[in-house]
Amino acid sequence: MTEPTTPHPPQPHVQPASGTPPETDAQNTLATTPQTTYAWRGDFANPEVNVLHAQGFDHPPLDIDWHTQVHRHSLGWVCARRGDELVGFVNVAWDGGVHAFVLDTVVAEGARRTGVGTRLVAAAVEGTRAAGCEWLHVDFDDHLRAFYFDGCGFTPTDAGLIAL
The per-residue pLDDT for 4 is 42
Evaluate whether 80 touches 116 at the Cβ level (below 8 Å): yes
pLDDT in tens, 57-79: 999 999 999 999 999 999 999 99
Q: What is the sign of the dihedral through the CA atoms of 22, 91, 102 and 54? A: negative
Q: Which is more confident, 23 or 73?
A: 73
Distance CA 158, CA 112 (A): 29
Q: Is the pLDDT of residue 16 over 80?
A: no
Q: Is the pLDDT of residue 17 over 70?
A: no
CA distances, 53 to each of 46, 77, 89, 106, 135 (Å) = 10, 14, 9, 6, 25
The architecture CATH gives domain 31-151: 3-Layer(aba) Sandwich (3.40)
The per-residue pLDDT for 34 is 54
Q: Which is more confident, 8 or 139?
A: 139
Give me the long-range contacts of 66-75 (CB less than 8 A, separation at least 24).
Answer: 74/9, 75/7, 75/9, 75/100, 75/127, 75/128, 75/131, 75/133
Query: Average model confidence (pLDDT) for the chain?
Result: 85
pLDDT in tens, 76-134: 999 999 999 999 999 999 999 999 999 999 999 999 999 999 999 999 999 999 999 99
Distance CA 90, CA 77 (A): 5
User: What are the boundaries of each domain within the chain?
Assistant: 31-151
Residue type, 162: I
